[in-house]
Amino acid sequence: MTYDKVANAATPFALSGQANDNSQILPRCEINCDMGEGFGPWKMGPDAELMPLIDTANIACGGHAGDPRIMRETIQLAKKHGVRVGAHPGLPDKVGFGRRQWALSPQDVYDLVLYQVGALKAFLDAEGMPLSYIKPHGELFFYVERDEEIMHAVLDAAKVFGVPVMAGKSVRYEQVAKKEGVQFIQEFYPDLNYNSEGKLVKIFAGPKSARTPETIMNAVLQAGFADQTVDTEDKPMNLNFGGAPFTVCLHSDMPTALENARKTRAAIDEINAARGYAAK
């Protein structure tokens, strides 16, 4: 299945960047997924079933979710399936799953990112695996969008570990990361919605937030073949990956997470085959 590019699609400022770092970092179009988001005996997503379907795992570091045992076991699962690992730090709010708004200073954010990523990296070191990137979770993601001082705090933490930051496509984030000397991996979110400004709508934000495995697959194909998506009013928008490979984010806590991943894997494999990229 292919999608024709809509000639008169809008190009919101947020999506107007070039995603040049993607071409340097990503070997092909990929799937990343939030993983390890349980705590103690409580399990969130079907991690064991999801892991063979993805390319990179964003592993919770004990802030919004996760604990030492879960971090270790999720890393070992990723190693078994040849999946690269990124750190997924979030606000220290397990009750709210890191999706409630907090007010923190840039120093606080720097400290909590350093603390959480450092914990995950210790387990990666124990397994002989590298840390591939840092990807803020939930409300921390939106905090970075709202406040450039918080953005700088996250980028400063990434410098300590010498790894890229991964986040949704954002021209301003791209500009600031380049100035700070931090590589920036930009991703597409098919299981969430975008508003007319090209920014993500928060998860479970009203009835239009629900996405089915079929709509998710179609969104991935549209992104891959037309470099476009639609906003909440179904109006087309240019994503501007410009032929660079992109990574697709999936949330493991979605009710249909496993089928979402299966459909997305089929779509990503189709896009990679059409572009001549090597299979996973």
Domain of 67 in residue numbering reads as 20-275
201 is a domain residue: yes
Give pLDDT tens digits for 196-233: 999 999 876 444 556 899 999 999 999 999 999 999 99
Instruction: State the Cα–Cα distance between residues 266 and 131, nearest whole angstrom.
Output: 27
13 is a domain residue: no
The answer, yes or no, to whether residue 2 has pLDDT greater than 80, is no
Q: How far from the centroid of its chain's Cα atoms is residue 99's Cα?
A: 15
4 is a domain residue: no
Structure tokens at 91: 């606000």
Average pLDDT over every residue of 161-189: 98
Q: What was the pLDDT predicted at 4?
A: 84
Instruction: Check which CATH number belongs to the domain holding 94 and give it.
Output: 3.20.20.370
14 is a domain residue: no
Structure tokens at 22: 């993607």
Tokens 């299966």 — which residue? 262
Percent of the chain exceeding pLDDT 70 equals 97
Say how many domains are in the chain. Answer: 1
Alpha-carbon radius of gyration of the chain? 17
Instruction: Collect all residues with Cβ–Cβ distance below 8 Å to 147 and sequence separation of at least 6.
Output: none
7 is a domain residue: no
Q: What was the pLDDT predicted at 154?
A: 98
**Cβ 165 vs Cβ 155: under 8 Å:** yes
1 is a domain residue: no
184 is a domain residue: yes
Buried b (16+ CB within 10 A) or exposed e, 124-144: beeeebebbbbbbbbbbbbbb
Q: What was the pLDDT predicted at 204?
A: 62
Q: What was the pLDDT predicted at 150?
A: 98
Tokens 């921390």 — which residue? 140
5 is a domain residue: no
What is the β-pairing status of strands 247-251 and 56-60?
Answer: unpaired
Q: Phi and psi at residue 75, in whole multiples of 5°?
A: -65, -45
Average pLDDT over every residue of 256-276: 97
Give pLDDT tens digits for 16-40: 999 999 999 999 999 999 999 999 9
Instruction: State the Cα–Cα distance between residues 210 and 66, nearest whole angstrom.
Output: 25
